Amino acid sequence: MALYLIESSLKEVVSAKEELNEKVSTLQSALNEKNASLIEVQVSKDFARSFFIVEGENQDVATEVLKAAGIPVELVKEVRLVGKDLNDVKKKDDVVNYLVEWNIPADITMDQYLARKKKNSVHYQEVPEVAFSRTYVCEDMSKCLCFYDAPDEAAVKRAREAVNTPIDSITELAGE
């Protein structure tokens, strides 16, 4: 089973957290029927950006289920989870309130990325108010999504500076 990132906008689909929760429940049921699973959904506060992580045999099942639910699919990428075990993510017991996207330069391989992450991640301790949770790295090395629990955007920026990693965008997430 592989992991897939599906990016969308829910701005025209839901307008409140309760509606989102109903939609997520419906999606999970539909995916389960197709031997797939919704690992997590992270949404910006204004619902303009949403990030679905689906585990399944292929990306077509995931995109078909989302489209059938009226959710527009803007991007689909196979991803690798880094920094946390998948079973721990499935427990949904950590807090993430910021998402950092980084468009990885074309000359970096997965092995180079992983070595760099391992070497630099010790520097997160320099910014104790920020907790790094996990990263999803696109298998095609086009970009990665890093999730944090932080008091504000400035703290996330300090954490990224500490680990010497760029930011292409920061999204404040709606949270639970």
Residue pLDDT, tens place only, 79-103 = 999 989 999 999 888 889 999 999 9
Q: Could you tell me whether strands 37-43 and 2-8 are parallel, antiparallel, or unpaired per DSSP bridges?
A: unpaired
Whole-number Å distance between alpha carbons of 85 and 94: 12
Q: Is the pLDDT score of 137 beyond 80?
A: yes
CATH of domain 98-172: 3.30.70.3090
Taking residues 146-172, what's their average pLDDT?
95
Alpha helices (runs of H) in the chain, residue ranges in sequence order: 17-33, 59-68, 86-91, 110-120, 153-162
Give yes or no on whether 2-79 and 98-172 have one common fold.
yes
- Domain limits, the chain: 2-79, 98-172
Q: Residue 5: is its pLDDT beyond 70?
A: yes
pLDDT band at 176 (very low <50, low <70, confident <90, very high): low
Q: List residues bridging with 41 in a β-sheet.
A: 52
The pLDDT of 28-34, averaged and rounded, is 94
Domain covering 2-79: architecture: 2-Layer Sandwich (3.30)
Residue 66, pLDDT score: 92
